[in-house]
A and B are shown apart, each in its own frame.
Chain A
Amino acid sequence: MALYSVASGQPPAAADLNQVINLLSGASSPTSSSMQVANRIRAQLTGATATSGLVGSTSGGAPASGTFALGDLVVDTGYNCLWVCTGAGTPGTWKRIGGQTWTSVNWISTGVGSIAFPPDQTTGNFPPAPTAINQTFFTRSGRVGFDVIQANYQVPEFYPYLFPGFSDSAYGYTIPLTGTYLVTNYLAPSGPTGGTDLGSMILKNGQVYQYGTETLSFGSATHKATSIVHCTAGDLIQVGAYAEGQYSPTASSFQAGFRIAYIGN
């Protein structure tokens, strides 16, 4: 049963005190009252040599207000993770532990035709394919310039952790939470016919962050980029291409995949 207060003016009985002792010692049935503290709970077993504390929960990020101490631990029911305070203050500095790893794939298929899903997506149930985009890659040289891949469709993955922040008009993801992300992309053209240099890259806020492979393309070559990107909330992540020779794909002649996942602080 729930704990009760002793009425003012009433002499306390042994049971009044024992209800609290039983709660703290575990003598009460597990189905009776839980303990709730509206401040911080600290344990200090020998060998655990520094202070820490359980301080409650948030929904969607580390605490944004309040004063916290080194080692405070918060449960985040919005990002499904934990936060540890690594710098005391108001609200202090926090590092994230675990939680859902958003992951998603962006998809583009140029030319007039239906969207072709990646091979591992063929058995899934996906929303109707969007309108395909015709995109022309401009002639470049001297390793200068790029075209933003017009990724226009976010394909749901196998789990319902769809990455937030995708814009099919911005062709990319706006980062929701400061941290480290793994970004991959591939470009799979059918043509050009050979001897043309083609490269893929990861873009951050409209600038080249990291190139992937840039090699000779002989017909249907695939170009890959992978990047570990430390992002700040609000950063825009896109993928791009560099092509030495104008390349205007015909129907269903170009495919690109673009994946991003949160992997840590």
Chain B
Amino acid sequence: MALYTVSGGTALAPQDINQLTNLVTGVDASTQVTVGNAIQSITPGCPAPSRYVGGTTTGAPSSGTFLAGDMVIAQDGFVWICVTGGTPGTWYRQGTGDYQATATQGVAQTLTSRSTQTGFDVLNVDTVVSDPHNMFSTSNHRFTIPFSGGTWLVNATVGTLLASTTFSQTAILTKNGTAFARGTEAKVVNGGSSIVTDLQQFASGDLIQLAAYAEAAAAVNTGAGRVVFSLCLIA
């Protein structure tokens, strides 16, 4: 049952005290404890104090005064730790929040024949496999990074087809229209598959696309697993 206050002028009874004792010893399972400030714990072996200070809907606190060691639980699946006290202090995010997405390509596309390792074609990636935070645009063939900070793992495969031809190709990752990572460039016969993997710290709003460089006018292979474009927050 809910805690009650003792009326002024009333003599204390044992149950007035015991309701508190039962609450803080776990005997009372029906009552939630809510503290209108912070809850601090310090025990032998953990000599520095830390405080649980409440929650946010998303992100670290943007106002209020906090101490190093404060912990906030964000309702979107992250925990934030204050590493430098202040108003509002400096905070680090814990968790990945299911920020992962994968897309593939189902529409035909012919790559431009290129040379001297110059230029690329953006792939018309158009099919979402997994994207719980709606980062991918099927019409624009790109991911939009939802927030700054954090480290992202980006990975992709580009498959091609071109009968009776041996040529060089590679997979490329672009940010805001500029290449930031290239995979191994190797010869393929009648087409083949190339991969690219990179780690990046993106800014909010960055546009991430998959591209290809090919020294022949090869067709993009839209078969299963041949064009796969993924990214995920890892830290």
Contact = CB atoms under 8 A, between A and B. Distances in A.
A20 B166 CA distance: 80
A169 interface: no
B153 A182 contact: yes
B165 interface: no
Interface string B39-54: 1101110000001111
B136 interface: no
Interface string A25-60: 010001101111111111111111111111000000
B56 A50 contact: yes
Interface residues of B, number: 94
A230 B130 contact: yes
Given A30-B42, A71-B74, A95-B95, A214 B55 contact: no
A145 B194 CA distance: 18
Contact of B38 (A33, A38, A43, A54): A43
Contacts of A38: 26-29
Interface string A15-26: 011011001101
B43 A30 contact: yes
- Give chain A's interface residue range (CB within 8 Å of chain B): 35 or more
Contacts of B228: 209-211, 227
B225 A230 contact: no
A259 B199 CA distance: 18
Nearest to B40: A26
Given A207-B224, A227-B230, A46 B24 contact: no
A95 B30 CA distance: 26
B123 interface: no
A23 B129 CA distance: 52
Contacts of B20: 17, 20
Nearest to A70: B75
Contact of A211 (B30, B100, B159): B159
Contacts, number: 283
B14 interface: yes
A102 to B, nearest CB: 15
Contact of A44 (B25, B35, B79): B35
A52 B72 contact: yes
Interface string A80-104: 0010111000000011111000000
A190 interface: no
Given A50-B75, A211-B225, A265-B96, A199 B193 contact: yes
Given A5-B14, A30-B42, A225-B195, A215 B186 contact: yes
Contact of A212 (B61, B63, B76, B195): B195
B181 to A, nearest CB: 13
Contacts of B44: 30-31
Contact of B192 (A11, A214, A230): A214
A206 to B, nearest CB: 12
A265 B98 contact: yes
Contacts of B195: 211-213, 224-226
A195 interface: yes
B232 A180 contact: yes
Nearest to A218: B187
B226 to A, nearest CB: 6
5 nearest CB pairs, A to B? A47-B64, A52-B55, A48-B54, A95-B77, A264-B96
16 contacts: A5-B21, A12-B13, A20-B21, A26-B42, A42-B33, A45-B54, A49-B56, A53-B55, A143-B223, A143-B226, A210-B157, A211-B228, A215-B193, A215-B194, A228-B230, A265-B99
Interface of B: 11-18, 20-40, 42-44, 51-57, 61-66, 70, 72-79, 88, 94-100, 102, 129-130, 153, 155, 157, 159, 161, 166, 184, 186-195, 197, 221, 223-226, 228, 230-234
